[in-house]
Amino acid sequence: MKLFYNEWEKWVVIILVLFLLLIGLSACNYKMVPSETKIEYGTTETDSKNDKLQQKQSITQTWKWIK
């Protein structure tokens, strides 16, 4: 079983692999850092079914790329 049928198929695969490797290595120069963090905490209106207050808690964080 041949891996490549033509010579040009072999070179296309080699160029594609090198291109993806170059992109992967260039991404190593960047890192992700937290940009903004929001914390929401509180109570909402009463629930009509059981007349209990519901608590709302959430944390949202955004990230950015830096060199």
- Residue 56 pLDDT: 80
Domain assignment present for 2: no
Strand partners, 60: 38
Q: Please say whether the beta carbons of 45 and 55 come within 8 A.
A: no
Question: What is the C-alpha to C-alpha distance for residues 40 and 60, in angstroms, rounded to an integer?
Answer: 8
Question: What is the C-alpha to C-alpha distance for residues 38 and 55, in angstroms, rounded to an integer?
Answer: 17
Domain assignment present for 39: yes
What's the domain range around 38?
Answer: 7-66
- Residue 17 pLDDT: 95
Tens-place pLDDT, residues 9-64: 889 999 999 999 988 887 777 788 889 999 888 777 666 666 677 778 888 999 98
Domain assignment present for 1: no
Domain assignment present for 24: yes
CB neighbour list of residue 3: distance below 8 Å, 6 or more residues apart: 10
